[in-house]
């Protein structure tokens, strides 16, 4: 089918996408610097797909190592996940984020040009929309000034890809993720945050597992029906499958423009309090939580208009919030031996 370079392939979304790629017959080479992932993810992947996927430990900021990688392999496409993603950390250390998220992209693209790799998929984020003017939000919505260096790296990366695709044979699909949650049904791979989780669902599952005393709900005085923020929580396997569909489109040369952009969400918004309630209902575990003040930089509400992905990619989500949360819980229980 084709040999695909998956950068950041041991990370949360990358590892689930490796499974989906394998199921569709793609051959995968994973590169990852293990800065926010674990080598053991390879064992989980092996147990799911039946063999250990090809893996090279590599930091994409190492320009000569990236050149060497492309000299040694002819890829049919690249899915570029590798990036740092902690919003708060990016505010404290912006240069780390600009260096890691942009240099890595630039070196990979330079080698795609040099080695005639024409199919490129980039992990973007709904964060590029900032606080949206209208909901649900579609791909034509304006890009707002980024609220964090992390968000800015996603905006700049999108611009870099537009510029490069104008003057090269590279075609790109920009996938703007909403909030990925959940884990593979086997519970052999899932989200593995380092330290205290910053994101809602891993904090919920760690609290339910007894690792954290209680969840803090960041604000209940927003102008939303129950006062808590609204997001579009998408099962990571639905997200992973969208990458395969986008890749198929690139490989089949069906792309209409050098850069195509798709929102990847469920199209449904859920509040933080709804997520807690759905977690409790679907798992039968009660979750201690308290309401605290708002978190700086949080947008009030964001959820996707997924019409474009449905009509053009023929993709839509198959899993609902309850099953996403149950899968996250099954994963947490497995890694904690519960």
Active site residues: 150
Is the distance from CB of 224 to CB of 271 less than 8 angstroms? Answer: yes
Query: In terms of CB distance, is 57 or 92 closer to ligand UD1?
Result: 92
Residue 269 CB, nearest distance to ligand UD1 (Å)? 11
- Omega before residue 136 within 30° of 0, cis: yes
CB of residue 122 to ligand UD1, shortest distance in Å: 13
Nearer of residues 3 and 212 to ligand UD1, judged by Cβ: 212
- Which of 215, 328 has the CB closer to ligand UD1? 215
Calpha distance 173→152 (Å, rounded): 19
Residue (22 or 231) nearer to ligand UD1, CB: 231
* Stretch 179-198: interaction string toward ligand UD1, x if CB under 6 A: x------------------x
**Alpha carbon of residue 85 to chain centroid:** 9
Is residue 82 involved in binding ligand UD1 (CB under 6 A)?
no
DSSP reduced 3-state for 281: helix
Q: Which is nearer to ligand UD1, 218 or 251 (CB)?
A: 218
HSE-CB of 124 using CA atoms within 13 angstroms = 30
CB 105 within 8 A of CB 64: no
Stretch that binds ligand UD1, among 41-49, 166-174, 240-248, 298-306 (CB under 6 A): 298-306
Question: Distance between CA atoms of 185 and 260, rounded to whole angstroms?
Answer: 30
What six digits make up the tokens of 302?
A: 């964001």
DSSP letters spanning 169-209: S-EEEEEEE-EEE---TTSSS----SSS--SHHHHHHHHHT
SS3 262: strand
Supply the minimum distance, in Å, between the C-beta of residue 174 and ligand UD1: 13
Name which of 8, 105, 118, 114 is nearest 70 in CA terms: 114
Residues 9-68 that bind ligand UD1 (CB under 6 A): none
Q: Which of 113, 193, 218, 245 binds ligand UD1 (CB under 6 A)?
A: 218
Report the nearest approach of ligand UD1 to the CB of residue 69 (Å). Answer: 26
- In the complex, the smallest distance separating the C-beta of residue 321 from ligand UD1, rounded to whole angstroms, is 13
- For residue 304, what are the CA distances in angstroms to 16, 71, 128, 135, 228? 21, 39, 13, 8, 18
Contact criterion met (CB below 8 Å) for 120 and 172: yes
Query: In the complex with ligand UD1, which residue's Cβ is closer, 53 or 180?
Result: 180
Q: How far is the CB of 175 from ligand UD1 (least distance, A)?
A: 12
Contacting ligand UD1 (CB under 6 A), which of 199, 206, 282, 310? Answer: 199
Q: Which of 117, 188, 217, 325 binds ligand UD1 (CB under 6 A)?
A: 217
Of residues 147, 277, 299, the one with CA closest to residue 218: 299
With contacts defined by CB under 6 A, name the span among 35-43, 122-130, 245-253, 320-328 that binds ligand UD1: 122-130
Residue from the set 106, 299, 312, 335 that interacts with ligand UD1 by CB under 6 A = 299
Q: Which of 93, 168, 216, 277 binds ligand UD1 (CB under 6 A)?
A: 216
> Which residues partner with 293 through β-bridges?
none
* Minimum gap (Å) between residue 156 Cβ and ligand UD1: 15
Counting Cβ atoms within 10 Å, is residue 69 exposed (0-12), middle (13-18) or buried (19+)? buried
* Stretch of residues binding ligand UD1 (CB under 6 A), selected from 25-33, 69-77, 209-217, 319-327: 209-217
Which residues of the shown chain bind ligand UD1 in the complex (CB under 6 A)?
Answer: 85, 87, 125-127, 179, 198-200, 203, 215-218, 229, 231, 272, 295, 298-299, 302
């Amino acid at each position: 089918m084709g040999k695909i370079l998956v950068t950041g392939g041991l990370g949360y979304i990358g590892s689930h996408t490796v499974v989906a790629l394998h199921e569709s017959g793609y051959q995968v080479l994973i590169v990852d610097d293990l800065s926010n992932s674990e080598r053991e993810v390879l064992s989980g992947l092996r147990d799911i797909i039946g063999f250990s996927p090809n893996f090279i430990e590599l930091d994409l900021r190492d320009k000569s190592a990236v050149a060497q990688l492309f000299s040694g392999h002819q890829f049919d496409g690249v899915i570029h996940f590798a990036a740092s993603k902690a919003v708060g950390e990016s505010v404290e250390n912006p240069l780390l984020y600009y260096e890691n998220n942009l240099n890595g992209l630039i070196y990979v693209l330079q080698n795609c040009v040099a080695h005639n790799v024409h199919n490129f998929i980039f992990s973007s984020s709904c964060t590029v929309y900032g606080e949206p003017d209208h909901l649900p939000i579609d791909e034509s919505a304006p890009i707002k000034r980024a609220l964090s260096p992390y968000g800015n790296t996603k905006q700049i990366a999108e611009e870099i890809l537009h510029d490069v695709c104008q003057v090269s044979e590279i075609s790109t699909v920009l996938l703007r993720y909403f909030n990925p949650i959940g884990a593979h049904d086997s519970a052999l791979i899932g989200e593995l945050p380092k330290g205290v989780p910053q994101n809602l669902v891993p904090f919920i599952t760690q609290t339910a597992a007894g690792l954290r005393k209680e969840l803090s709900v960041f604000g209940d005085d927003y102008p939303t029906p129950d006062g808590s923020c609204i997001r579009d929580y998408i099962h990571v396997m639905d997200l992973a499958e969208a990458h395969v569909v986008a890749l198929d489109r690139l490989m089949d040369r069906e792309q209409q423009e050098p850069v195509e952009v798709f929102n990847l969400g469920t199209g449904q918004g859920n509040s933080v309090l709804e997520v807690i309630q759905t977690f409790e209902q679907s798992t039968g575990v009660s979750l201690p939580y308290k309401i605290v003040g708002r978190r700086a930089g949080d947008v009030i509400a964001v959820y996707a208009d997924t019409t474009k992905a449905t009509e053009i990619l023929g993709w839509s989500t198959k899993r609902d919030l309850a099953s996403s949360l149950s899968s996250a819980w099954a994963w947490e229980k497995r890694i904690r031996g519960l």
